[in-house]
Amino acid sequence: MTSKRLQVLDAVKALVVSALPSADVKGLNADDAKPESIGPGGTVIVRAGDPGEPEVDLSPTRYNYDHAIPLEVGAYESASKTSEQVLDEMLAAIGLKISEDPTLGGLVDWLEPSAASTDDFDAVGAVAGRWADLEIRASYATTAPLN
């Protein structure tokens, strides 16, 4: 049996893959170290984050989480766009997918992305790129903290 927490994480990762089909989407296993280079279609790392302390309803017992799921999104410039513009398009595609199904098909009560902060990415001998850090907050409930 897979826990609700892991189901939500896997669904968020699948949402990112769907939003950015040419990106290299990593995370939630042994490949979640920040890479030294960004793939040609961009790179996204989905982190497990922290579900935090739940609010508890007692009748029936439900544990309500607001799980902050960090994303790191990386992009290089293209022939016609700056790396910031490419990154902005990637972020917009993720935002569009969230708005199309903010409940992940009923798995969560609501998904809400945070604003992204961006920074340069420099590697020796490589074209400079940009990274964006943001969180997707998933609100969901479960009947037990470990299920």
The pLDDT, as a whole number, for residue 40 is 84
- Whether 79 is covered by a domain: the verdict is yes
Q: Whole-angstrom Cα distance, residue 107 to residue 105?
A: 6
Instruction: Indicate which CATH number applies to the domain containing 124.
Output: 3.30.2000.10
pTM here is 0.92
Average pLDDT rounded to a whole number, residues 79-84: 88
Q: Which residue has the tokens 């994303």?
A: 71
Contact 54, 29 (CB under 8 A): no
**Domain span including residue 61:** 4-29+39-142
Structurally, the chain folds into a number of domains equal to: 1
27-42 pLDDT, tens per residue? 998 777 777 778 889 9
Whether 34 is covered by a domain: the verdict is no
For residue 147, tell me if it sits in a domain. no
CA distance linking residue 94 with residue 51, whole number of Å: 21
